[in-house]
Structure 1
Amino acid sequence: MRNKFIASATLLCSALAVATAIPSFSQAQPERHRVRVCRDVSSRGARNTGTAVGAVGGALAGNALSHGGGKTGGTILGAVAGGVIGHQIAKHNDTHRVCHWEYR
């Protein structure tokens, strides 16, 4: 009889210890999940190079297409237009997306 009582008391205490430990353990650790984080990366060096190459190409094209005394104006106008176009092309092509995973 005494052994049954000790066994029952031990079993009851063990069950109470487990029952009180489980809820506090699950509340202590918040649920974490994996999230993909992306950002756009660009370098300004490629934009500057695109502007310079476009300006030189536009100046050569403007000089070749202009006639007579307007060669200087055609060269300047071609350089400006080529620089803007070269910058826009380099800006568009230079941006790329970098992604990684984080746990939050």
Structure 2
Amino acid sequence: MRRYLTIAGLAAALAVPAIAAPEQAQARTYCDQRAHDRKVTGTVLGAIGGALVGNAVSHKNGAVIGGLGGAVVGNQLARTKCDTGQRSAARPTYYRSASARCHMESRPFYDERGRLFYDQVRVCR
């Protein structure tokens, strides 16, 4: 029973930073928030899995060492980057000489939440 309380305490300690700072979550973009949620989930699941494996290997301090190691590994495996190569919703402009033939064309872009939308742009050939 004592080891299960140790595992539960470790998992709760790892989850506290995610719960304690909800005002920071509002300032994040959608992609950043999802990446953060993945890291927290990976950390907690890694800690639980590592504690179980560590306890099976050694009954003295195996759960604690395994939990800490699993938390680090889970956090690193769950890391993702937001695709910063996406275009913003700002309208691009293409500059050419006055003699070039230009026309309006619908082009796909991504907004800050990663959703696809189409916008009219001026294209000169």
Task: Answer with 1 or 2: which has the greater Rg.
Answer: 1
Relative contact order (C-alpha < 8 Å, sep 6+): which is higher? Answer: 1
Q: TM-score, normalised by structure 2?
A: 0.42
Query: Which has the larger helix fraction?
Result: 1
Name the TM-score, length of structure 1 as normaliser. 0.49
